[in-house]
Chains A and B, each alone.
Chain A
Amino acid sequence: MNKKEINRRKFLKILGASAATTTAALYGCKSENNTAVAGSTPGEVPTDQMTYRINPKTGDKVSLLGYGCMRLPTISHSSARDSNDDIDQEMVNKLTDYALAHGVNYFDTSPAYCKGRSEHAMGIALSRHPRNSYFIATKLSNFSPDTWSRKASIAMYHNSFKELQVDYIDYLLLHGIGMGGMEALKGRYLDNGVLDFLIEERKAGRIRNLGFSYHGDIKAFDYLLSRHEEIKWDFVQIQLNYVDWKHAKEVNSRNTDAEYLYGELNKRNIPAVIMEPLLGGRLSNVPTHIVGRLKQRRPTDSVASWAFRFAGSPEKVLTVLSGMTYMEHLQDNLRTYSPLLPLNDDDKAFLEETAQLMLKYPTVPCNDCKYCMPCPYGIDIPSILIHYNKCVNEGNVPKNSQEENYRKARQAFLVGYDRSVPRLRQANHCIGCNQCVHHCPQNINIPKQLQRIDQFVEHLKQGTL
């Protein structure tokens, strides 16, 4: 009996000691682990090397990496836009703390993001830090016609203060200018006097910087810039990446080259905030031979880092937004911008060539923003388009049955299709009611694309390709 007791005590002692040493060992190993395991990533993420850009009006030192809050993690470990699960607040806090500790100070959210839960979550995460340690950017997302009234728009604006737990907003944007053309711009901001109201709010100091984010109709962009002398835009948010720089029209006929957009801002000395640096992930998940091409040039850099370096290189870029769900994305992006290694002319020519190669892949320009959702007839539009794009990139969209890998590609396309999209939400259920079309910031003719994909699926199934 006595012996047994000693044994037990001893055992507990040993257990405690070994647990402590294991923990210590793990902590000790952490930095080495990074280099040893990751292999391609160069060591620890630096905390004091972030590249900053100066806001010419306020003198704000803004980190080149901006935290996009439209893809916050959920407890089921997917992005909050994809699921109904609760946002993983603990993880959001952790990511926020980590970003701040590594020099990120710009956080971009909106009342619409994560099904309306993003501002609240970011309010909780950021209010744990001193107010002067971060810049908050949010938007007046009065897309829906029932929020077009002055009263509803201003209520939405005031609610942002409450959700974010702040008494001033650093960067406020008119959201999605150009979607719905001039008509929507007039209805949402001009005719109801909301823009004038926001200018007054800026005067009162409750908005530090006023700007707009632009998608779609170039008329709206040109119109708002033409009023720059009077309004004095403090910044403008545009879509910029190495494909959209010169080939926006090839990706999507109604888009405008980023070269033009940036040029217009540069001319007027307006700082640019960059969105879609990865083109909705399509510049990080690229065809295999493009991966090879990028890796050959800089073996230790990630594929995404090229896109971020491209977006961060122009001098007038204030910050580059990345919607980061996972710690690994955050770390990779931090490495890219700590500090930024600007592209030289050779690099730029190389990326331009890469862009031209990418355009040979007939992907659908969907950025998975899910603005089209929910489809009233239950179709999972983004999942269908993304599955199609994935198959395009992986060479699983055969042109005819004579192709060498036809059988394999057919199986991959059809089996993958059923896995990615439940049968009842597949393209053959699209009735072409066109309700989604005007929601798409990329102006994709969604029903037409879905019907095209459906026909392709029919050909595969019937073996008539």
Chain B
Amino acid sequence: MLRKIRILCAFLCFALITLLFLDFTGSIHAWFGWLAKIQFLPALLALNAGVVIALILLTLILGRVYCSVICPLGVFQDIISWIAGKRKKNRFSYSPALTWLRYGVLTVFIIALLAGIGTVVALLAPYSAYGRMASNLLAPLYQWGNNLLAYWAERANSYAFYSVDVWMKSIATFGVAVGTFIILAILAWRNGRTYCNTICPVGTVLGFISRFSYLKPIIDTEKCNSCGLCARNCKASCINSKEHTIDYSRCVACMDCIGKCHKGAIAYAHLHKAATPEKKEEVSQARRNFLTITSLFATTTFLKAQEKKVDGGLAVIEDKKIPNRANPITPAGSQSIRNFTQHCTACQLCVSVCPNQVLRPSSSLDRLMQPEMSYERGYCRPECTKCSEVCPAGAIRPITTADKSSTQIGHAVFIPENCVVNRDGVECGNCARHCPAGAIQMLPSIADDPNSPKLPVVNTERCIGCGACENLCPARPFSAIYVEGHQNHRTV
């Protein structure tokens, strides 16, 4: 019964969180956006004390149900492990905890977090790992499915579905997502929850707390006949059936063992006697897993860039190239690049919901996989605040459209050599026409001659850095006007 409740809750959480990453219309977020915000690490980074305390209390009462129900990466591993279990029954066995590895990784993680090394944080954080798999591997499939529906809808003259662009946002992040998927799939296939109990920093923290949880599975030694069935079905490998002990730091309260025991010797209850024998752990074959991880991390997948199609009777449109920005641009609501990089767990949620193809994971080493903005495919539209609505980690704080329209995240820089007015000798002014802040004016290039070609002049005090000018600039591949990010955002 307990197991069934756990599976039902886990399934719901997992499905809805996955949908958060897939749904590009924003309707799921309105109802279930909180599921991302109750994830442990994002809540911690957002300094969301309420959620963190609630999760600690939950663990103190029920054990690591967080890992079994709320964490999408945990449930993902359970699914893989369940499939593997279909092929081979009773495949697990007890193994001692790799405490040195667990605490070592946790230490590294905390140091990285404090030092602001986002890459390490993003690689290790469970929710981020799941997010990048969902947004890099699953979302394209979902979008292609949607595009197929849109194709049919178009033929049925319906406007219910519209097609979306599926594009490679960052090869590096895609590669990491593939790597994460392969490693986790192999670990889960072979040994269930190895990742959660050796690498995952959240698992280590919650594991520490869950030792003291009020309710936990207890083996009744009087009923137990030491058949070892529970241990062979424990995906956390934490039941030592010979000694009738359970390592509660690794038990994720999945309740599988309770149902498996023929003798009814395991119960989910409060342990009355304080006699919990402390165990010394030996280093064992689990080290191999760690080595597998590091070697597999090196694999990256390169995808061929999609070939561009050219329509007939239409001029060829060259793809825009990313200008060399001295500072990255971060979304309005992130307050400053520092605040952003410190809080961001690189979960890719904002990247998946950005409807204007502005946000994409960074490829630069110091901010690997953390999102940044660029305007080759679209610009940060004034009516949209989606990223700020979904961010669970407080990296992008909620912002209204009104506040956004007066928040300066960068400023536009004009490059006269690229401008079509100079290059093609035509009239333009598309940047000025589309500037939502009215920061660009077209002025004669020769001050005394009102008939001389007009070039844009940027009032950097009014510019908010939305990128409308850069995106809609006809100059290709490099725009004649581009946005330079600001270290600190401010109100204009």
Contacts and interface: CB of A to CB of B under 8 A. Distances in A.
Interface of A: 81-85, 115, 370, 373-378, 380, 408, 411-412, 415-416, 418-419, 422-425, 428-435, 451, 461-463
B162 interface: yes
A428 B312 contact: no
Interface in B377-434: 378, 381-383, 420, 424, 426-430, 433-434
Given A85-B312, A430-B430, A431-B430, A419 B317 contact: no
A83 B430 contact: no
Interface string B417-455: 000100010111110011000000000000000000000
A115 B159 contact: no
Nearest to A419: B154
B314 A370 contact: no
20 contacts: A84-B312, A85-B312, A373-B314, A375-B314, A375-B315, A377-B315, A412-B159, A415-B159, A415-B162, A424-B317, A425-B314, A428-B430, A428-B472, A431-B428, A431-B430, A432-B429, A432-B430, A432-B433, A433-B427, A434-B427
Nearest to A411: B159
Contacts of A462: 381-383
B474 interface: yes
B50 interface: no
Contacts of B312: 82-85, 115
Interface in B142-160: 154, 159
B377 to A, nearest CB: 8
A431 B426 contact: yes
B277 interface: no
Contacts of A429: 430, 472, 474
Majority DSSP secondary structure for residues of B touching A: loop
Contacts of B381: 461-462
A271 B49 CA distance: 88
B163 interface: yes
A201 B317 CA distance: 45
Contacts of B316: 378
Interface string B13-56: 00000000000000000000000000000000000000000000
The 6 residue pairs across chains A and B that have the minimum distance between CB atoms: A84-B312, A433-B426, A378-B317, A431-B428, A415-B162, A378-B315
Contacts of A412: 159
Interface centre among A411, A431, A435, A451 (most CB of B within 10 A): A431
A325 to B, nearest CB: 15
Contacts of B315: 374-378
A16 B474 CA distance: 63
Contact of B313 (A373, A408, A432): A373
Contacts of B383: 461-463
Contacts of B428: 431-433
Given A378-B317, A451-B433, A462-B382, A431 B474 contact: yes
B278 interface: no
Contacts of B420: 431, 433
A459 B311 CA distance: 29
A431 B317 contact: no
Nearest to A409: B159
A412 B157 CA distance: 10
Nearest to B309: A422
Given A377-B474, A418-B162, A419-B154, A431 B429 contact: yes
Interface centre among A411, A416, A433, A435 (most CB of B within 10 A): A433
Nearest to A396: B159
Contacts of A424: 317
A429 B472 CA distance: 6
Given A418-B163, A431-B474, A463-B383, A115 B313 contact: yes
Interface string B297-325: 00000000000000111111100000000
A374 B314 contact: yes
Given A415-B162, A429-B472, A432-B427, 18 more contacts: A84-B312, A84-B313, A115-B312, A373-B313, A377-B315, A377-B474, A378-B314, A378-B316, A412-B159, A419-B163, A425-B317, A429-B474, A431-B426, A431-B428, A434-B426, A461-B383, A462-B381, A462-B382
Contacts of A415: 159, 162
Interface centre among B381, B472, B474 (most CB of A within 10 A): B474
B263 to A, nearest CB: 62
Nearest to B433: A451
Contacts of A451: 433
A412 B160 CA distance: 9
A113 to B, nearest CB: 13
B426 A435 contact: yes
A370 B312 CA distance: 12
Nearest to A84: B312
A432 B420 CA distance: 12
Contacts of A375: 314-315
B62 to A, nearest CB: 45
A375 B474 CA distance: 12
A435 B429 CA distance: 15
A412 B426 CA distance: 35
A416 B426 CA distance: 31
Interface centre among B313, B315, B426, B474 (most CB of A within 10 A): B313
A319 to B, nearest CB: 28
B24 to A, nearest CB: 14
A244 B420 CA distance: 39
Nearest to B312: A84
A416 B163 CA distance: 10
